[in-house]
Structure 1
Amino acid sequence: MTTEVNNETDVQIDGAEFAALADHVLRAMHVNPMAELNIIFIEPDPMAELHLRWLDLPGPTDVMSFPMDELRPGTPGSETPPGTLGDIVICPQVAAQQALAAGHSTVEEMLLLTTHGILHLLGYDHAEPRQKQEMFELQRTLLLTFLAERQA
């Protein structure tokens, strides 16, 4: 996988950790190893601008996904074609507020948001209860297996 991590904030970000997470998720979802993904960390003001422009909602949000080639998950033995998955944009300051409310670290929240964003790029959504259950269960499984492998 080709994952580029860009940090446009003053927050310390371990780009290698986020690239490793993306690699884990994309391998688990049988995405072609030649797929490209960008993860961009931005400040609240630019995030608020994106949020307003693309979703017509005020204020910064935690994560936004911008799909490119509309790749979908593959299956074992039949991965997706190569292509550009798209961009995930994360606001660390919003993630920090959510992490505090959830009782875990900001890094853990941003890893969760990255997984969430990748699933959106792969076509998952949470608009309906059944979709939300499927997406959130998959998101949890992918993140927990990544964290377990990192600790092993």
Structure 2
Amino acid sequence: MTVINETDYEIDLAEFAELADYVLTQMHVSTDSELTVLFIEEEPMADLHVRWLDLEGPTDVMSFPMDELRPGRPDAVTPQGALGDICICPSVAQKQALAAGHSMVEEMLLLQTHGILHLLGYDHAEPEDEEVMFALQRHLLLTFLAQR
């Protein structure tokens, strides 16, 4: 697990590492799996957004899966592997947090949870899939925050 901040924003990297461990544990995936969470500025995020999705401008979060690990079960944890990388743009998260009426940190924790679920194969292209993914990410984040 690697968490890197390449921005000027003050970010408690340990909190994001704890969240990643929590989500992987809850999803029954080995916490020894390789995962990188990278906080980046708008310009490199915009570059990634154009390169990978052909969409202009920066976005909030992007996920780059590696070994296509999937959630396990309580009796069968997914063995360690290369889960992938998540890039989060704090300046975009800050704007979204203001609009949503919560803190920037809560927004970035939500984005990281969202990104991990994408790495585990969840998607929200279809309404039914969106309902499942968003309910799961909400549950994971709220239970993580409640235990702190």
Do both proteins adopt the same fold according to a TM-score greater than 0.5, normalized to the shorter chain? yes
| TM-score w.r.t. length of structure 2 | 0.99
Deviations 1:34-70, CA, capped at 9 Å, x for gaps:
2111000000000000000000000000000000010
1:17: how far off? Answer: 0.1
**Are residues 1:94 and 2:95 paired?**
no
Bigger CA drift: 95-104 or 75-84? Answer: 75-84
The match for 2:63 is 65
Unaligned runs of 5+ in 2: none
4+ residue segments displaced more than 6 Å: none
**Amino acid in the other structure paired with 2:32:** M
1:1-152 to structure 2, matched below 5 A, reads: 3-150=1-148
| TM-score w.r.t. length of structure 1 | 0.96
Tell me, what secondary structure is at the counterpart of 1:37?
strand
Unaligned runs of 5+ in 1: none
Bigger CA drift: 21-30 or 75-84? Answer: 75-84
What CA distance in whole angstroms lies between the structure 2 residues aligned with 1:59 and 1:146? 31
What CA distance in whole angstroms lies between the structure 2 residues aligned with 1:126 and 1:11? 29
Q: How many residues align?
A: 148
Q: Give percent identity, aligned residues only.
A: 72
What CA distance in whole angstroms lies between the structure 2 residues aligned with 1:33 and 1:87? 15
